Amino acid sequence: MRLVLLGPPGAGKGTLAALLKEGLGLVHISTGDMLREEMKKETATGREVKKFIEKGELVPDEFVIRLIEKKLTSDKRVGHGYMLDGFPRTRKQAEDLDRILGQIRQPLDYALYMESTLPVIIQRLGGRRVCRNCGTLYHIRNKPPKKEKVCDLCGAEVYQRADDNEATIRTRMDVYLKNTRSVIDYYNAQGKLKKLDGDKDSEEVQAVLMQIFHEDHKFNKH
Ligand code: AMP
């Protein structure tokens, strides 16, 4: 199954992705993670994108499209299905994704849209913490690591992303709404959009999603 996860930062895409990875074995492809990796390795791309990411603005389309094209056409693991998290964020990215997938004859199955409200997002992202090594997500109130700032799973440092502060979260939400409306309309017109309530907790969202997959005859032949 090939999915796109849409929704503002903090709507729960990362948590849903972790559940889908475990439940359906889908590979999780996050352009935010890929870009942070480029920054960590201090590649030419990493140096170019840093200023945009730190301000909460979108990185120019060509950087993310290049990363995604390489991933989808050369990484064998994606052949069994994947979900794209944080991509596409603009109409141009959505069109280029269809072009790339058309060339390898692997069309998308669904675009899942996690809708969420600003107060919920600020509460979630303000308290969000991430493992620097394995990417496990924590929340200072709802899901703190057992030992402060130490990942339960791998023992590496658990940190707060520089762009998870309230001012940058508001900018990211504005940027998201401005650009991504057209992406939502794009998938709606293709009949691939499925809306999910991102303010609900992740188990409820997952149950609704499994029902959607179950009712789709394409995934229900056996
Ligand atoms: P995320 O981890 O998805 O919240 O992404 C973190 C930051 O990376 C965003 O605020 C953007 O600056 C950048 N970014 C990630 N994905 C994209 C994308 N598809 N297009 C443009 N910028 C992106």
54 and 148 housed in the same domain: no
Name residues contacting ligand 1 (CB within 6 A): 9, 31-32, 35, 52-53, 56-59, 64, 86-87, 89, 93, 172
pLDDT at 30 over 80: yes
Three-state DSSP state, 114 = strand
Q: Ligand 1 atom 1: the closest Cα is on which residue?
A: 32
46 and 89 housed in the same domain: yes
Cβ-based burial of 219 (10 A; exposed 0-12, middle 13-18, buried ≥19): middle
Atom from ligand 1 closest to the CA of residue 86:
3
pLDDT at 98 over 60: yes
Calculate the average pLDDT of the chain.
91
Contact between 28 and 21 (Cβ < 8 Å): yes
Cα-to-centroid distance, 172 and ligand 1 (Å): 9
96 and 134 housed in the same domain: no
35 and 79 housed in the same domain: yes
Q: Is the pTM of this model over 0.95?
A: no
11 and 76 housed in the same domain: yes
Three-state DSSP state, 34 = helix
Cα-to-centroid distance, 216 and ligand 1 (Å): 31
Report pLDDT for 222. 46
- Angle 80-85-90 from CA coordinates, rounded to 5°: 120
106 and 59 housed in the same domain: yes
Write the DSSP assignment of 132-169 as a string of letters: TTT--EEETTTB--SBTTB-TTT--BEE--TT-SHHHH
155 and 72 housed in the same domain: no
Atom from ligand 1 closest to the CA of residue 175:
10
89 and 54 housed in the same domain: yes
- The helix (H) or strand (E) run that includes residue 44 is helix 44-55
52 and 137 housed in the same domain: no
Cα-to-centroid distance, 58 and ligand 1 (Å): 6
Contact between 131 and 153 (Cβ < 8 Å): yes
pLDDT at 219 over 70: no
The residue count for the chain: 222
Q: Read off the pLDDT of residues 148-185 as tens digits, 9 standing for 90 and up.
A: 999 999 999 999 999 899 899 999 888 888 888 899 99
The pLDDT-based confidence of 220 (bands split at 50, 70, 90) is low
- As annotated, the active-site residues are 13, 89, 128, 161, 172
Domain extent at residue 40: 2-116+165-220
